[in-house]
């Protein structure tokens, strides 16, 4: 079995980097980390790289495949409008727009392919840490769930929370969600 832990970056500040609150979240998230990683990877976005720094990792690869993506992009106006009307997050609104959900699934498959590529680099029982972005993370993680339903993850993945993708050879064998403890 191989394990790829994909964390959502920490909370942004006014600029492109992590806010002070985001730094505090990343410090709290250290409790979720494994004791060892064979490989660390970051999205090229400043907030993802800063999250890895605050988590305590100074050496890592930057991989464009983990860049920020709106996984419902062509339907963004419709999804955003519906989310506001329903008082929900845009990700959840995708389930009410079949075309947006289909696009979300496709983007999730693409992201999952990048996660598999990372897993292939690992030794047996190896573990990688990736810091990426929300929305696309859930879209990929749901491919490891029986019904592709956001409720199966317990809802949106919060800042500095993670999904552990478990691979048996090249096959996704399951996922696990890592949540920050409430304060």
**pLDDT tens, position by position, 82-135:** 999 999 999 999 999 999 999 999 999 999 999 999 999 999 999 999 999 999
Its pTM stands at 0.95
Q: What is the CATH number of the domain that holds 39?
A: 3.40.50.1240
Pair 125, 141: CB distance under 8 Å: no
**Segments forming the whole domain that contains residue 118:** 7-158
User: Within 13 Å of residue 93, how many CA atoms lie on the same side as its CB?
Assistant: 19
Note the pLDDT tens digit of each residue in 160-182.
999 999 999 999 999 999 999 88
Does 167 fall in a domain?
no
pLDDT over 70, % of the chain: 100
Rg (CA), the chain: 16
Does 179 fall in a domain?
no
């Amino acid at each position: 079995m191989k394990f790829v832990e994909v964390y959502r970056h920490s909370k942004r500040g006014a600029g492109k980097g992590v806010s002070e609150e985001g730094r505090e979240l990343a410090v709290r998230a250290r409790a979720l980390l494994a004791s060892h990683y064979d490989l660390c990877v970051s999205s090229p976005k400043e907030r993802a790289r800063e999250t890895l720094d605050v988590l305590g990792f100074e050496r890592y690869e930057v991989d464009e495949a983990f860049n920020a993506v709106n996984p419902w992009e062509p339907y963004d106006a419709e999804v955003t409008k519906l989310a506001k009307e329903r008082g929900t997050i845009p990700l959840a609104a995708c389930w009410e727009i079949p075309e947006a959900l289909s696009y979300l699934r496709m983007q999730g498959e693409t992201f999952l392919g990048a996660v598999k590529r990372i897993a292939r680099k690992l030794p047996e029982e190896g573990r990688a840490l990736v810091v990426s972005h929300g929305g696309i993370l859930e879209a990929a993680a749901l491919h490891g769930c029986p019904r592709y339903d956001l409720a199966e993850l317990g809802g949106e993945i919060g800042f500095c929370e993670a999904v552990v993708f478990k691979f048996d050879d090249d096959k996704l064998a399951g996922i696990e969600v890592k949540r920050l403890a409430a304060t």
